Amino acid sequence: MRRGWFRNGMLGLGLAFLYVPILSMIVFSFNNSRLVTVWDSPNSPTLRWYVRLLENDQLLGAAWISVLVAAMTATGAVILGTIAGLVLTRFGPFRGRAFLSAMTTAPLVMPEVITGIAMLLLFVSLEQLIGWPEGRGMLTITIAHITFAMAYVTVVVQSRLAGFDDVLEEAALDLGARPATVFFRITLPLILPALVSGWLLAFTLSWDDVVISQFVAGPGSSTLPMEIFSRVRRGVSPDINALATIMVLIVAIGVVLSTLYMKREEKRREREEQMARRDGNG
């Protein structure tokens, strides 16, 4: 009997389930027919939807807003999430720690409609009370995105900090470094990989979000997902396929490059460690 045929079969089917829809989008993005799912073989493949996409100023404008919001969100979320992660793993017990910890994990599972309505009502109340923020737009979207994205960054930073012993920080203190120096020279460089992946994660979360953005966006601040959502609600359109293909391509290239880089680093490290063992035995 061959062992593991069931689980390997399931893995294969599962991966097919994950990738078939994406592949079908890519294939039909080159289809000439407006009917999306009917392959118009005489005139396909074609790049006509890509051309149409590049001429669509509305989508391009929304994409630019999304990039700006996502970049600001990622940066803000990394700063706040790093501090929160540091406070929760390294500051020992303090009053209100449990509450802070609850507030950083709740956004991970909170249904987006609830977060969205809560954020919007806050902004409306604040505007009534103190006149800020004036109306809604990129600023309010960014604030809302930072709030839920920082929860993810906090988790990433926390698990990285938990992964290495705080004895390194103690060693630095012992050698005469003040707490701020310890943070910038020891802690920060060591959690840098977590910050990079946290930044990318926050960027993606913001870039991807449609529900919360819909609640807190104002006129003229439609993000790309909001534009896509209002289009696909009206039905399938081939230029969305083209857009999806471009996004998949960018992500795939990024992931493949970073994987190759990490593989190479790991190989180098392994080689060096082997060398060290050999030297040490001499």
Partner 1 sequence: MSQKTVDRGQEYVRIEGVTKRFGDFVAVDSVSLSIFKGEIFCLLGGSGCGKTTLLRMLAGFESPTAGRILIDGQDMAGIPPYERPVNMMFQSYALFPHMTVAKNVAFGLEQEGLGKTEIERRVGEMLEIVKLGEFARRKPHQLSGGQRQRVALARALIKKPKLLLLDEPLGALDKKLREYTQFELINLQEQLGVTFVVVTHDQEEAMTLASRIGVMNKGQIVQVGTPTDIYEFPSSRFVADFIGSVNMFEGQLTEDEPGHVRIRCPELDATVYVNHGISAAPEAKVAVAIRPEKIELTRSELAATENRTRGTVKEIAYMGDMSVYLVRLESGRLVRVTIPNTERHADERIVWDEMVYLSWHPSSPVVLTV
Partner 2 sequence: MNKALETLQVWFGKRLVIGVPYFWLLLFFAIPFLIVFKISFSWMQPIQPGYAPLFSWVEETQRFVATLNFSNYEVLLDDPLYLGTFLYSVKVAAISTVLCLLVGYPMAYAIARCPPTTRNLFLMLIILPFWTSFLLRVYAWIGLLKTNGVINNSLLALGIIDQPLTLLYTDFAVYIGIVYSYLPFMILPLYSNLEKHDLTLLEAAADLGASPVKSFFWITLPLSMPGIVAGCLLVFIPAVGEYVIPSLLGRTDQLMIGTVLSAQFFGARNWPVASAVAIALLIMLLIPIMLFQRYQRRELQAARR
Q: Which residues bind partner 1 (CB under 8 A)?
A: 165, 167-168, 170-178, 181, 185-186, 189-190, 269, 272-273, 275-277, 279-281
Other residues' Cβ atoms within 10 Å of the Cβ of residue 196? 13
Binding characters for partner 2, 124-143, by CB under 8 A (x = yes): xx--x--------------x
67/73 Cα distance (integer angstroms): 10
Residue closer to partner 2, measured from CB, 18 or 281: 18
227/205 Cα distance (integer angstroms): 17
Query: Omega into 189 within 30° of 0, i.e. cis?
Result: no
The owner of tokens 């050698």 is: 175
218/13 Cα distance (integer angstroms): 43
Query: Quick one: which of 147, 187, 206, 222 contacts partner 2 (CB under 8 A)?
Result: 147
Q: Please report whether residue 108 would count as binding partner 2 according to CB under 8 A.
A: yes
Residue 186 interface partner, choices partner 2, partner 1, none, CB cut-off 5-8 Å depending on type: partner 1
Which is nearest to 123 in space by CA: 3, 216, 193, 204? Answer: 216
Residue 280 interface partner, choices partner 2, partner 1, none, CB cut-off 5-8 Å depending on type: partner 1
Q: Yes or no: say if 39 and 251 are a contact pair by the CB < 8 Å rule.
A: no
Name the minimum Å distance from CB 278 to partner 2.
23
Residue closer to partner 2, measured from CB, 131 or 282: 131
Residue closer to partner 1, measured from CB, 80 or 194: 194
Rg (CA), the chain: 24
Q: What is the dihedral of CA 194, 195, 197, 198, to 10 degrees?
A: 110
Q: Please report whether residue 64 would count as binding partner 2 according to CB under 8 A.
A: no
Residues 6 or more apart whose CB falls under 8 angstroms from that of 36 comprise 28, 236, 237, 238, 241
104/45 Cα distance (integer angstroms): 48
Residue closer to partner 1, measured from CB, 102 or 175: 175
Q: Please report whether residue 247 would count as binding partner 2 according to CB under 8 A.
A: yes
204/200 Cα distance (integer angstroms): 6
Residue 83 interface partner, choices partner 2, partner 1, none, CB cut-off 5-8 Å depending on type: partner 2
Stretch touching partner 2 by CB under 8 A, among 3-11, 168-176, 188-196, 267-275: 3-11
Name the minimum Å distance from CB 147 to partner 2.
4
Query: Quick one: which of 32, 52, 61, 107 contacts partner 2 (CB under 8 A)?
Result: 107
Residue closer to partner 1, measured from CB, 10 or 171: 171
